[in-house]
Amino acid sequence: MSRKVVVALGGNAILSDDPSAEAQKSALEQTAKYLVQLIANGDELIITHGNGPQVGNLLLQHIESDSPENPAFPLDSLVAMTEGSIGYWLQNALQNELEKNNIDKSVASVVTQVVVDKEDDAFKDPSKPIGPFYTEEEAKAEMEKTDATFKEDAGRGWRKVVASPKPVRINEIESIKSLIEAGQVVVAAGGGGIPVVETDNGLDGVEAVIDKDFASQQLAHEIDADLFIVLTGVDYVYINYNKENQEKLEEVRVSQLQDYIKEDQFAPGSMLPKIEATIAFVDGHENRKSVITSLENLEELIRSGAGTTIKN
């Protein structure tokens, strides 16, 4: 019986030092070689991905060319644009790799709206920096002209900050389920999905970014996946990382991870959201598992279960 597996790709699976489209397409061609191993293993594969650097670059391009004749787009539209372009590159790379391996599967990418709560506390205190650096004077002038929030960023200057609310539901979930049931490989919720809120007139996009790992977890939960894999730059999660008593975690329970979180073992903005997302997926579900590992370790994960496995 095949498993439903959601794989959340880390940024290193898409972007190298070269931000050109060709370089990113080339990186995804290599990524596809690893991902196809799961399909060859008989798994139903659903893929999510980040878009932080890409949406940041696109935002800079729009700010640079902003004019009445060519106005800059809002952030939700930029998220949609990068979700579409990365989805296209990944869809193309996977389809070509499947054909090379004589696997008869189709790949579909879904531009995904993710509903967030307009009352989420994140909107009251925006904290996610985006866009270029400004001087304090420039930032204050921008704040006077718009309702945007700017904050000083680690002594490097001032940057616009937006909310990073938690996902509530995946709007296109029924379409995604239909594609999975039809046996297709699905790319969805890219970049955390396009943040939208419910209004009296329907869904409306907002200036926010959703953490990719939390959106991926929400997707995995809503399709009732068997396995949620978060790919990052290391093969295993460690406690006491980079210290003499560093310890590799191979199989760990939710309760243990919660204790490690209280000990501040995992870096905020790095490993911590991955840990929190995997906990949210398995907590209270005996038949679910999460794994945190690297893209390069996927073959060993399939073969021997290598990587950090999280169970209830």
Which active-site residues does the annotation give? 11-12, 128, 212, 274
* Strand ranges inside the chain, DSSP E: 4-9, 44-49, 107-110, 113-116, 128-134, 149-152, 158-162, 167-170, 185-188, 194-199, 202-205, 227-232, 237-239, 247-249, 251-253, 289-294, 308-311
At position 56, the amino acid (one-letter code) is G
Q: The sheet that has 167-170: what strands, in order across it?
A: 167-170, 113-116, 194-199, 202-205
Work out whether the CA dihedral 97, 53, 280, 198 comes out positive or negative: negative
The strand pair at 107-110 and 185-188 is best described as parallel
Q: Which own/partner contact pairs does 256-259 have at CB distance under 8 Å and 24+ positions apart?
A: 257/310
Q: 277-294: b or e for each residue (b if 16 or more CB lie within 10 Å)?
A: bbbbbbeeeeebbbbbbb
CA angle in degrees (0–180, nearest 5) for 200-204-208: 135
Token reading at 310: 């999280």
Cα–Cα distance list, 21 to 53, 165, 202 (Å): 12, 29, 34
